[in-house]
Structure 1
Amino acid sequence: MLAVFRRNQAGVAAVEFALILPSLLLLYAGTVEIGQGLTVARKLNNAAVVTADLMAQSESLSTDDMNDVFAGAKATLAPYDISGLKIQACVVTTAGGAQKVKWCAAEHDTAPAKGAAPPVAVPSALVEGGVEMVVVRARYHLDTPFSSALSVIGHGYDFQRVYVQRPRIGDTIDKE
């Protein structure tokens, strides 16, 4: 009886396909997820760098200037939905070893108050006496079709990038 089953090849391809298909679909979905995640991580890094760099090129910034800076940061995330983007852009002073926010602007996020601790501490190796630092924290929440389908397990992916830069012109950046 077993010999009959061993010789019968009818339906083997269908069984193999049925066994392999879930693995192939999972592999495909994982590849798409990883690709989107890596792209968003790179674009979020660019958004943080653009924000800090544009701020560092000025001696003073107005609210309109900061809106333009945030518009530039949002443009780097194209074609992804920018509603999940949160940016805190602060100018941080260091006096007596304590880091404090001189001023801060935020897009879709809460800006720390003047005199509060910065959202991210400036590494001590970068601190110079009398020199303010630009600290940008950019966060993004990514929902993908696959992560939405598996919402029982998780609800998308959260990315965060921090960028610290010294002012390019002078040692301070004022808020108009």
Structure 2
Amino acid sequence: MHSEITLFVNGKTTSLEVDNRRTLLDAVREDLGYTGPKKGCDHGQCGACTVMLNGRRIVSCLTLAVAAQDAEIVTIEGIAEGDALAPLQEAFVRLDSYQCGFCTPGQICSALAMLSEHAEGWPSAVTADVSPDAPTPELDAAEVRERLSGNLCRCGAYPSIVRATLEMAARKGISS
């Protein structure tokens, strides 16, 4: 069965006819040509396909394209500001937060969405106090590592990824 859907990706609206079983990852990469999100494991375990859907990070390999109808989707290609890299992208480059680069688009999308989640007060598994009236936890290296744990880096660039994310948090005034 096929459906006609409208996807709003990186500020552009596109109508597509897709098989109802087609993943958002395949639609974004193969139909729309945004190759930033990668097909790593195709099981939602590595995070290489992470994109933002209405500001929240998702693994696009487990999300059906039809479920993203009319949602705002941002891939790594939509983060840059014109020809200039976004601040987090600049930090990743400057701090060597990548080696092979395969996971980098997903890492950056996840980190940006995570910073918003943290700013909204969402706790993590290492947050000491998760009671409803608890203050927003400090964003330290342990919090960042836990919050980004769904994005794997086979090269082991984690220390630099954490540094770049904390630098971005400091720029936004939300780190410890």
TM-score, structure 2 normalization? 0.25
More strand by share: 1
More helix by share: 1
Work out which structure has the larger RCO, using CA pairs closer than 8 Å and 6 or more positions apart in sequence: 1
TM-score, structure 1 normalization? 0.25
Larger radius of gyration: 1
